[in-house]
Amino acid sequence: ATPTALLVGTGRGAKLGILIGGPDVLGRARRIDAVVLDKTGTLTRGDLSLAAVHAVPGVTEREVLRLAGAAESPSEHPIARAVVSAAPTPPATPTLFANVPGEGVRASVDGEIVTVVRPDVVDLGPLADAVAAAEASGQTVVVVTRDGTPIGALALADTLKPTSAEAVARFRELGLTPVLLTGDNERAARAVADEVGIERVVAGVRPEGKVRVVSDLQASGLKVAMVGDGVNDAAALAAADLGVALGTGTDAAKEAAGITLMRGDLLLAVDAIRLSRATLRTIT
């Protein structure tokens, strides 16, 4: 490959809003067969809104929201931002805080241990029906526990980005197989996949699991691009043959990726693949 052609390609990318991390990146982008797309914040806007609050008997909805808002206040996750903005203000400041990527948060609020976590790590008890119903309607659900006991569940609704379905169709036209990969629940994942036209869905996956999905696809002989925005996507972005981070995403994702898109628009990822093919066609 001539260095001049690669430089020209990189320059054209920058004008389009595609930041290409190094001279080898376009060469890798040209050979991609499958494109793995994160859901929250990548295919969807990731600005979730609170759709419903469920509380167990003896606990008020307000108390569930207050504790959840306090526990989530240090987190930058889209779920945390939605919970904090729906909670009574200002949130109490937690004295201890831990973020578990792909799972949730744990904090000490008013001397009690509060967690806000994915439903499948909790024995849901009286919340089981409400959680199942919310997930069935395509919502993301998190469960609030206090001193180890579930006290409520929050159902959150997200919306698709306007160009996601078109981008998926364009990936197919380029011969790439799209795969949706998410830590969120299967039903919410399917709802989004159906709307954008993706058949292959892997849901409920932890950050380590996202790496495994990428390496399994590679082991089946495919060259894999991963597109994501979150801390939970960083390892998979690094493991992929081509990592594409959204400029709207976290620093961890951008550092792990070969390409950063200046806008959170997946059509730019399509342009990146096209650009790599056009650039390298002229020199090979």
Contact residues for Mg ion, defined by CB under 5 A: 38, 40-41, 229-230
Q: How far is the CB of 147 from ligand ADP (least distance, A)?
A: 18
Q: How far is CA 63 from CA 38, 87, 143, in A?
A: 32, 9, 13
Task: Give the position of tokens 């949130």.
Answer: 91
Tokens of 152: 């409520």
Tell me if 183 contacts ligand ADP by CB under 6 A: yes
Q: Which does 69 bind (CB under 5 to 8 A by kind): ligand ADP, Mg ion, none?
A: none
Tell me if 39 contacts ligand ADP by CB under 6 A: yes
* Residue 38 is a catalytic residue: yes
Under 8 Å between Cβ of 240 and 225: yes
Q: Segment 216-235, which members bind ligand ADP (CB under 6 A)? A: 230, 232
Q: How far is the CB of 140 from ligand ADP (least distance, A)?
A: 5
Q: Which is nearer to ligand ADP, 184 or 241 (CB)?
A: 184
Q: How far is the CB of 248 from ligand ADP (least distance, A)?
A: 13
The count of residues interacting with ligand ADP (CB under 6 A) is 23
Under 8 Å between Cβ of 108 and 126: no
SS3 219: helix
Q: Among 38, 229, 233, 241, which one carries the catalytic annotation?
A: 38
Torsion of CA 161, 208, 237, 181, to 10 degrees: -30
Q: Which is nearer to Mg ion, 13 or 41 (CB)?
A: 41
CA nearest neighbour of 282 among 5, 11, 27: 5
Tokens of 91: 């949130």
**Which strands, in side-by-side order, build the sheet including 18-20?**
18-20, 259-261, 242-246, 224-228, 34-38, 177-181, 200-202
Q: Which of 10, 40, 163, 276 binds ligand ADP (CB under 6 A)?
A: 40
Tokens of 139: 């919502």
Q: How far is the CB of 59 from ligand ADP (least distance, A)?
A: 18
Q: Segment 105-134, which members bind ligand ADP (CB under 6 A)? A: 105, 116-118
Q: Which residues are catalytic?
A: 38
Q: Given the rule CB under 6 A, which residues bind ligand ADP?
A: 38-41, 72, 75, 77, 79-80, 102-105, 116-118, 140, 142, 182-184, 230, 232
